Copies of this chain bind each other. A is one copy, B any other.
Amino acid sequence: MGRWEPDSRGRLLEAAFALFSEHGYDATTVAGIAERAGLTERTFYRHFADKREVLFWGAGLLQEGVVAAVEAAPADASAIDAVAAGLAAAAERLQEGKAFARQRQAIIVTSAELRERELIKLASLSVAIAGALSARGVDAASATLSGEVAVAVFKIAFERWITQTGDRGFAVLMTEALDELKAVAAGS
């Protein structure tokens, strides 16, 4: 303990995902994850608060990336265009981790607790996007609606991205879903 462990976070993630997939989320323990990774429980707790957080530790980073992109959109961009910039940032961040995202989703759908946690994280993302838009001068109502729209588009594009049999990029699917949203709203 205390010695340097190369990529202990990555090893813990891999071990946890393998155990969640093989034995189920509920039956997996922190002790089991640490053992599988060849690390101590103490090392586990240096990286994650509990086994649930193994599945959600990236959500904060994703949200920060989205918010930063919304903030960085051109000053004259409309709310929906700033949202598009945020979604593009999310797609770029997640694109390389598709196998991980797919495996994660397969675990989350098995547990009511995890599904609820995922909904909470998405609600938090919506609020964060609305906050970033408000800071850009978008009125409160439009900012809140835009945050909700962003999450709706994200959810749909994400679902397509991990279930598609083809190989279209997440960014392309995100743009497509946003365009569909615009068409729906326009009544076409």
- Once A187-B81, A188-B78 are accepted as A-B contacts, the answer to whether A152 and B156 lie under 8 Å apart by CB is no
Within 8 Å by CB of A180, from B123, B145, B155, lies B145
A182 lies within 8 A of chain B by Cβ: yes
Within 8 Å by CB of A119, from B120, B152, B187, lies B120
A183 lies within 8 A of chain B by Cβ: yes
CB pair A145–B186 under 8 Å, yes or no, is: no
Interface residues of A in 62-92 (CB under 8 A from B): 78-81
Interface residues of A in 140-188 (CB under 8 A from B): 141-142, 144-146, 148-149, 151-153, 155-156, 177, 180-188
CB pair A184–B116 under 8 Å, yes or no, is: no
Within 8 Å by CB of A116, from B120, B142, B183, lies B120
CB pair A141–B119 under 8 Å, yes or no, is: no
Residues of B within 8 A of A119 (CB): 116, 119-120, 123
Within 8 Å by CB of A80, from B78, B123, B180, B185, lies B185
A123, B119: Cα distance in complex, Å: 8
Residues of B within 8 A of A177 (CB): 141, 145
Question: Shortest distance in angstroms between A75's beta carbon and chain B's nearest beta carbon?
Answer: 15
Question: Shortest distance in angstroms between A86's beta carbon and chain B's nearest beta carbon?
Answer: 14
Residues of B within 8 A of A141 (CB): 156, 177, 180
A-B contact pairs, 18 of them (CB 8 A): A79-B184, A79-B187, A115-B120, A116-B116, A116-B119, A141-B156, A142-B180, A142-B183, A144-B156, A145-B181, A148-B148, A148-B151, A148-B152, A148-B155, A181-B185, A184-B185, A185-B186, A186-B186
